[in-house]
Structure 1
Amino acid sequence: MFNRQAFRAPPAVKTLVDKIVPLARRVAEARQRPVQVMEVCGGHTHAIFHSGIDQLIGPDVEWVHGPGCPVCVLPAQAVDEAIALAQQPGAILATFGDVLRVPGRHGTLAQASAQGANVQVVYSPMDALTLAQQQPDKRVVFFAIGFDTTMPGIAFTIQAARQQGLTNIQFLCYHIRLIPTLIRLLEQDSVCIDGFIGPGHVSIVLGADAYQPIARRFGRPLVISGFEPVDLLNALLMLLQQLDEGRCEIENAYARVVNNAGNLAAKAAMAAVFDSTVCHWRGVGEVPESVNGLTPDYRAFDARSSLPRLHQGTDQEPAYCAEVLTGNRKPHQCPHFGHACQPETPMGPLMVSSEGACAAYHKYNVGKCKEPCHEG
């Protein structure tokens, strides 16, 4: 049985910190700069600041915040399509709540709802299935987003809809896969990352072996971590030991829930249901093996068959959002951070999402300046 307090106990934290601090100093001195560690997942970003790990470790480790927040990378085109579907007569747009305030080119789902569109917040894709069962006279569209973590549940829901013979439910799919995203990131010359802290929940689905291209092709070590302080500190220690010893491997510091192969049933369902393609994502750009469609066996459930023709414009990113998403700028280095851009008045999805880097910096008072910052 998992004992959460054991992974938060001060003696365990202190033991790890006492090992990490001198090791981080040695690795940083060898590089003549701080060690740049990207925590891919937004949940890790919040956990690091919530538990004060960044302060415990000190300046020899620079945390680089990755694009592992599905709401943050959601393209404006996706929001526009969801709004268009919600506005159709007899339609119900079912969505996760954290998408409501993500800006499209012509507003947000929250604004569309206020203007009469039928938008309903659900907590799982199966809730959308229940809506379709309970309201057969309505057409339910589920706004399906997320990384590999949420994809299996949505795939199983689509399979259940087919098995039940439901004809009044469809899915607007915008899934971004983690491994192609990391590869796309490492292909950019501007990105400087010494190693990765890999996300635990995605790894439950993918398995540790899925990350091997990160080490073999790009020469970057990666350690999979859970979300408790001891998890993250242990993963950081393992990563620094690799860098200190000149090793480059994929290691698993979350073995209590992550194995090498991943969840085979989940991966089989994803392969059966989702059709992979290239898709443009906020900040990251074109990512291959994304998902915005369904395979022929499930194409009847693809909401794009009901979409009106929309203007295919270019996403207009708020200033600096793309640089924050790719780790090239810290949130507080944006002149709008904490001023024009706040949780109550967000200019971009990084301040909207509960996993966004800007939301984390604002919530935990990280790097705030007395005056607007313009460095970098």
Structure 2
Amino acid sequence: MKYIDEFQDPELARRLLDDIHSTVTRPWALMEVCGGQTHTIIRHGIDQLLPEQVELIHGPGCPVCVTPLEVIDKALEIASRPEVIFCSFGDMLRVPGTGRDLFQVRSEGGDVRVVYSPLDALRIARQNPDREVVFFGIGFETTAPPNAMTVHQARRLGIPNFSLLVSHVRVPPAIEAIMSAPNCRVQAFLAAGHVCSVMGVGEYPELAERFRVPIVVTGFEPLDILEGVRRTVLQLERGEHTVDNAYARAVRPEGNPAAQAMLEDVFEVTDRAWRGIGVIPDSGWRLSPKYRDHDAEYRFSVDGIQTREPAECRSGEVLQGMLKPHECEAFGTVCTPRTPLGATMVSSEGACAAYYLYRRLDITTAAREASPVV
């Protein structure tokens, strides 16, 4: 299959690994800012095949994981109302709020439905004009354009019973927050290729220059990750700090202008809380005043909700790259995919879920000389 098998070739992986081993001369810490990349790294054992001097730090790149507890509780409150049909992607249903999740709301009689597109929720709204239909819109710049387009369509078609519960976040302000932290160890970033396919790379050169860190736009297959690491290490060893697009087959420097225009029309930039991290200025979107009638928070007045994170959950430290999942005392014991304490154990892109799924109950350096598992 084009662009799949070619990027899982064991021999090419070995060549890239040999190149990285021959290039690195001192320790470097790289952060990948995408949960999909994290799963590729752990699934294929890439972190264990790299030189010991190269550490991969898992960043806050899982959209489900960074959705704040307050927004989850707002979703639970809205979904519990009898007049509401609450629509969401499936991975949000098991994310724990304060005391329960959307699955429990559904078991208690709430009309909670899994959809595969925000347009599915819009169709449900047209079919049920006597019900309020809410779509849970979360994620990074990748999922924001289709959600924006759906709100635009609802307004254009005159579908008044459709609204969006928004929790969209933006990557560049998160990078700035990470680099501004006093205990930051990150020396370079593997940027998320799908985000850059929408937004382009224009926001990254200023960050690379200000913090003197290489930023390499990277894809999601094993060879994509290894090539991203190779280019990053090469810059670090040379003392360079530029933006490098290693995912040119999908990312243009200008991104997708049509998607950006839709975002600018429907959303406006706002401060946004990230679960386990806190509020990052200008790091999110909310619906602009033009589309206020389709804003579920405004429509249902879900303000003043008090939240409480489980004391034993350290997912916030995992999301900030301060802690590896297996280093948390609750990992694999009281916190498992069946009994998750935090979203990082629930989401298909969560770092804790990746470590659990691929049996990383303990990190070892064994098999560094083995062939890459691809």
Q: Name the TM-score, length of structure 1 as normaliser.
A: 0.93
2:111 corresponds, among 114, 118, 126, to 118
Where 1:64 maps in the other structure, the secondary structure is strand
Letter of the aligned partner of 1:5 in structure 2? Answer: D
1:70 corresponds, among 63, 70, 74, to 63
Shift of 1:58: 3.7
Distance (Å, rounded) in 1 between the aligned partners of 2:304 and 2:97:
12
Aligned to 1:94: 87
Give 4+ residue runs of structure 1 displaced > 6 Å after superposition.
none
**Is the CA contact 2:214–2:242 (under 8 Å) kept in the aligned structure 1?**
yes
1:211 corresponds, among 180, 204, 207, to 204
Letter of the aligned partner of 2:194 in structure 1? Answer: H
Distance (Å, rounded) in 2 between the aligned partners of 1:117 and 1:129:
19
Change (3 A) 1:148 1:369: closer
Distance (Å, rounded) in 1 between the aligned partners of 2:341 and 2:237:
40
Where 1:111 maps in the other structure, the secondary structure is helix
Shift of 1:292: 5.5
Distance (Å, rounded) in 2 between the aligned partners of 1:145 and 1:3:
28
Distance (Å, rounded) in 2 between the aligned partners of 1:201 and 1:301:
27
Aligned to 1:11: 11
Change (3 A) 1:314 1:136: closer
Distance (Å, rounded) in 2 between the aligned partners of 1:45 and 1:364:
12
Aligned to 2:371: none
Work out whether 1:20 is the aligned partner of 2:2: no
Once the two structures are superposed, residues 273-327 of structure 1 have per-residue CA deviations (whole angstroms, 9 ceiling, x without a partner) of 1122212211221112244631121111111223245444354254321111100
**Is the CA contact 2:77–2:302 (under 8 Å) kept in the aligned structure 1?**
no
Higher relative contact order (CA 8 A, sep 6+): 2
Q: Which moved more, 1:286-295 or 1:207-216?
A: 286-295
Letter of the aligned partner of 1:328 in structure 2? Answer: M
Work out whether 1:338 is the aligned partner of 2:332: yes
* Structure 1 segment 98-247 matched on structure 2, within 5 A: 98-247=91-240
Distance (Å, rounded) in 1 between the aligned partners of 2:302 and 2:252:
44
Where 1:152 maps in the other structure, the secondary structure is helix
Change (3 A) 1:150 1:306: same
**Is the CA contact 1:84–1:307 (under 8 Å) kept in the aligned structure 2?**
no
**Is the CA contact 1:184–1:284 (under 8 Å) kept in the aligned structure 2?**
no
Shift of 1:363: 1.0
Distance (Å, rounded) in 2 between the aligned partners of 1:7 and 1:326:
29
* Structure 1 segment 362-373 matched on structure 2, within 5 A: 362-368=356-362
Q: How much is the aligned-residue C-alpha RMSD, in angstroms?
A: 1.7
Structure 2: segments with no counterpart, 5+ residues: 365-374
Distance (Å, rounded) in 1 between the aligned partners of 2:127 and 2:307:
39
**Is the CA contact 1:141–1:171 (under 8 Å) kept in the aligned structure 2?**
yes
Give the length in aligned residue pairs.
363
Distance (Å, rounded) in 1 between the aligned partners of 2:198 and 2:302:
35
Identity over aligned pairs, percent: 43
Where 1:209 maps in the other structure, the secondary structure is coil
Letter of the aligned partner of 1:332 in structure 2? Answer: H
Shift of 1:38: 0.5
Aligned to 2:272: 279
Aligned to 2:247: 254
Q: Which moved more, 1:52-61 or 1:190-199?
A: 52-61
Where 2:151 maps in the other structure, the secondary structure is helix
Q: Name the TM-score, length of structure 2 as normaliser.
A: 0.93
